[in-house]
Chain A
Amino acid sequence: MAATKEEIIEGLAEIVNEIAGIPAEEVTEEKSFTDDLDVDSLSMVEVVVAAEERFDVKIPDDDVKNLKTVGDAVSYITSHQG
């Protein structure tokens, strides 16, 4: 069953917390991964791979550059999850 928007935000928050150490409650839709959450380009790859596994979705490298904010990732996962 597909994850809800709330579940996706919660899941991304846990992933970002694990990788960048940002408190989960600070991971909200308007936040930019690089500017607000201390996720650099290398760590973004980790976030993407963890999200793929968690939400059963494939995020091709070409699409990763479009995921600037947590909201971008939520929308992408919502529309692509299996």
Chain B
Amino acid sequence: MNATPRKVLVTGIGATTPLAGDSAGTWEAMLAGRSGVRPLDREWAAELPVRIAATVAVEPADVLPRPLARRLDRSAQFALIAAREAWADAGFTGPAGEDNLVDPDRLGAVIASGIGGVTTLLDQYDVLRERGARRVSPHTVPMLMPNSPAANVGLEVGARAGVHTPVSACASGAEAIGYAVEMIRTGRAEVVIAGGTEAAIHPLPIAAFASMMAMSKNNDEPERASRPYDTARDGFVLGEGSGVVVLESAEHAERRGARAYCEVVGQGLSADSHHIAQPEPSGRGVAAAIQNLLDAGDLDVSQLVHVNAHATSTPQGDVAEIKALRKVLGDVVDGVAISATKSMTGHLLGGAGGIETVATVQALYHRTAPPTVNVDELDPEVDADIVRGEPRRLPSTGTLVALNNSFGFGGHNVVLALRTL
């Protein structure tokens, strides 16, 4: 344990989500309890068991110039859009080195996705079969490689301290932010742009997740399909988009007079070592991650008021997470406002940790917990204070702590802790 770890601040946020094309619009839609889940009216969806998804509210083709967009996988397009917003929000006006606000050698980029450039891979396979090898795009590999969003964001901002892509399925986005925090804490970088992205709304991933019995089949009521903690929940709804934050050492932020939203206090990590895709039902692994976070000694648990839960709307996972919180935090859980924003955004897989960290930053900054929609009948096994229907005000004074949980197939558990300034 480092006795005097460098303090890490969030100085910029950006997002493109099923709710809006930016972070402010996404937050506004969350407070209004809107759902981003829609019918998939594409021809290829007609024969699938699942015909709903949380597609982005603003198509990237409407935002990015065509020559740029055509050489980026959709996941990198989302990441670039979110990164540009976060970068500008942090007060930077151009790539590192050009506006003299940050040294490129002290700037990092850590952007993750769970699945990588799956649509590029599958589309180019179609090209290969239908039109031959000569027509396969020379951009295929740089587009489909999982580190492509990180590399493209790194190129955009001029990051030279390191560009990284931790991959841990649906925990990837949160793991990326945790990795970025460590880059700053250990002195490798002063500023790191970090987050998660995903673009996997394609017949193959949908068919594959559906085969695992992991997805909601509530095709008739798309807006009601993602319903964490409700007794009628029947699986997650696939979403797409990206959420990105700019993290910065407190010294660096102060030196350039940057506005900061909150602090990232630390992270807790663990692995279930239980099953490749099933959550450990008692919540043992998640509890270990929370315990590791507390053991690091950086936060005061009495200040914990909010959790942006992983809660994907699967029967097992939602309950295991609550059990884990209860196991480690005991009665503290009674005073914690728990929100499952996936009820509105769907599950962005590797993008989830990104947009949910952005939502957690906004919750602390505005001292408001976003609602969980579609909880008509709370599962009696969910022994916690779920923010249902309407947003809830958090204490208007004092230091507040919030957690953002993300877990992934493979048994990866990531808990990020944020604190008001």
Residues of A participating in the B interface, judged by any CB pair closer than 8 Å: 18-21, 38, 42-43, 45-46, 49, 52
Report B-chain residues with C-beta under 8 Å of the C-beta of A19.
Answer: 67, 70
Q: A45 to B71, alpha carbons, bound, how many Å?
A: 13
**Min distance, Cβ B241 to any Cβ of chain A, angstroms:** 25
Q: A46 to B137, alpha carbons, bound, how many Å?
A: 7
B66, B67, B135, B138: which contacts A42 (Cβ < 8 A)? B138
B134 close to A (CB within 8 Å): yes
Report B-chain residues with C-beta under 8 Å of the C-beta of A49.
Answer: 134-135
Closest to B139 in A: A42
* Complex contact A21–B66 (CB within 8 A): yes
B67, B135, B139, B142: which contacts A21 (Cβ < 8 A)? B67
* Complex contact B67–A20 (CB within 8 A): yes
B65 close to A (CB within 8 Å): yes
**Min distance, Cβ B124 to any Cβ of chain A, angstroms:** 13
**Min distance, Cβ B76 to any Cβ of chain A, angstroms:** 15
Report A-chain residues with C-beta under 8 Å of the C-beta of B139.
Answer: 42-43, 46
Contact A42:B142 (CB < 8 A) given known A20-B67, A21-B67: yes
* Complex contact B138–A46 (CB within 8 A): yes
Closest to A58 in B: B134
**Min distance, Cβ B387 to any Cβ of chain A, angstroms:** 46
Q: A45 to B67, alpha carbons, bound, how many Å?
A: 15
Q: Name which of B67, B68, B135 has the most chain A CB atoms within 10 A of its CB.
A: B67
Q: Which of B67-91 contact A (CB under 8 A)?
A: 67-68, 70-71
Q: A20 to B70, alpha carbons, bound, how many Å?
A: 10
Q: A52 to B65, alpha carbons, bound, how many Å?
A: 26
Report A-chain residues with C-beta under 8 Å of the C-beta of B71.
Answer: 42-43
**Min distance, Cβ B77 to any Cβ of chain A, angstroms:** 15
Report A-chain residues with C-beta under 8 Å of the C-beta of B70.
Answer: 19
The 5 closest A-B pairs by CB, nearest first: A21-B67, A45-B138, A42-B138, A20-B67, A42-B139
Q: Which of B318-374 contact A (CB under 8 A)?
A: none
